[in-house]
Amino acid sequence: MARKRCAYIRVDVFAKKPFGGNPLAVFPDARGVTAREMQLLAKEMNLSETTFVLPPSRESGADARVRIFTPDMEIPYAGHPTIGTFYTLAKEGKIRVRDGMTTARMEAGAGVLPVEIHRSKGVVRKVVTVQRKPEFGKEFDDIDLLAEALCVDIKDFDLRKAPPQVVSTGLPWLITPLRTRKAVEGVTVNAGAFAKVVEKLPKNVVDVYTTSLEPIDRRATAHSRGFFMASGSVLEDPATGSASGCLGAYLVDRHLIEVKRRTAIVNEQGFAVGRPSRIEVQVETSSDGAIESIRVGGSVVEVMRGVAEF
């Protein structure tokens, strides 16, 4: 039997030069690849996510259907895979873009979502994913267990102003603010306790996002680290678009930063794993303060190309 061949492109998202930001493998034409093969390829790539592009459903009105896989499972949405995939599709000429801003539409498990592609002088400079309106879950009340999982002190939490809370803008995260950047930098995950935290979270919530309003870069808003469970282990994500949108919604909803009709946030991440990342977030609110839209974006750089044979 002939082996299948499927080309892929590796990019770094939320970075302006290779080996920063969050790596992503994009299969820009995954026709003929089964769901099982997609999962195996994602496991082989061993990245936080791998994407597979397919023709959109006729009724969706989308430009592309994107399936997103972690090494363990398919997920309905993620920020950096969306941004990296549409950068790749635009760069490869698989969707039409013009100088200025072009709005494309992505069909994903979370629904049909707009993606904004910014190009100047024929070069894609930035891609922005428009996330769903936030859903705020319950506050996480077992702080002793969460502190044990993150190896931090109870005093590192500010439970009155900023309690840990599940937030989703397409993919749910437990947003976990800490008082200082030093506390965030000092997080060392206890995998056993982390698994117990996940057991207490709502179904399909397996990710914890620690953050502080003491960034390294004075032009930034927050300094963050993201942790998730994969194959029974806890891994750290270098740059997380979905969680950054959740963080922006959390900060605006609780007025932990100055809130405007369009609140601009810069979230820095990845320093602890040697992949500095800059994630831009914009939270738009209505006149009564309700969150109307969340945009998360950044730059992307191509790193390598290859062909998978299986």
CA distance linking residue 310 with residue 307, whole number of Å? 10
Both 198 and 292 in one domain: the answer is: yes
Both 147 and 281 in one domain: the answer is: yes
Average pLDDT value for residue range 249-268: 97
Its pTM stands at: 0.91
* Active site amino acids: 49
Nearest one of 169, 27, 19 to 85, comparing CA atoms? 27
Question: Is 221:213 a contact under the CB 8 Å cutoff?
Answer: yes
Q: For strands 100-108 and 64-69, give the pairing.
A: parallel
CATH number at residue 29: 3.10.310.10
Q: For strands 222-230 and 207-212, give the pairing.
A: antiparallel
What pLDDT score does 63 carry?
Answer: 97
The token duo for 288 is: 């009564």
- pLDDT, tens digit, for every residue of 138-166? 999 999 999 999 999 999 999 999 999 99
Both 77 and 40 in one domain: the answer is: yes
Both 176 and 151 in one domain: the answer is: yes
Average pLDDT value for residue range 215-233: 91
Both 228 and 303 in one domain: the answer is: no
CA distance linking residue 78 with residue 129, whole number of Å? 9
DSSP 220: -
Question: Quick one: which H or E segment has residue 199?
Answer: helix 191-200
* Domain that includes residue 100, residue range: 5-129+299-309
Q: Which residue has the tokens 């494309």?
A: 104
Residue 308, φ and ψ in degrees, nearest 5: -90, 135
What pLDDT score does 232 carry?
Answer: 74
Q: Specify the number of domains making up the chain.
A: 2
On the 0-12 / 13-18 / 19+ scale of CB atoms within 10 A, 306 is exposed
How far, in Å, are 250, 271, 281 from residue 131 at the CA level?
14, 25, 10
| Residue 207: band (very low, low, confident or very high) from pLDDT cuts 50, 70, 90 | very high
Both 49 and 190 in one domain: the answer is: no
Percent of the chain with pLDDT over 90: 93
What pLDDT score does 120 carry?
Answer: 96
| Residue 1: band (very low, low, confident or very high) from pLDDT cuts 50, 70, 90 | low
Both 166 and 197 in one domain: the answer is: yes
What pLDDT score does 230 carry?
Answer: 72
Half-sphere exposure (Cβ direction) of 28: Cα atoms closer than 13 Å: 20
Residue of higher predicted confidence among 2 and 261: 261
Q: How many residues does the chain have?
A: 310
Both 189 and 290 in one domain: the answer is: yes
Question: Quick one: which H or E segment has residue 9?
Answer: strand 5-13
Both 149 and 264 in one domain: the answer is: yes
Sign of CA dihedral 115, 296, 272, 125: positive
CA distance linking residue 192 with residue 118, whole number of Å? 43
Find all residues with CB under 8 Å of 214, minimum gap 6, and list them. Answer: 180, 181, 182, 223
CA distance linking residue 66 with residue 234, whole number of Å? 26
Both 74 and 107 in one domain: the answer is: yes
Both 275 and 164 in one domain: the answer is: yes
State yes or no: pLDDT of 233 exceeds 90.
no
What pLDDT score does 204 carry?
Answer: 82
Average pLDDT value for residue range 34-58: 96
CA distance linking residue 70 with residue 48, whole number of Å? 5
Average pLDDT value for residue range 47-75: 95
Both 122 and 143 in one domain: the answer is: no
Half-sphere exposure (Cβ direction) of 67: Cα atoms closer than 13 Å: 23
Average pLDDT value over all residues in the chain: 96
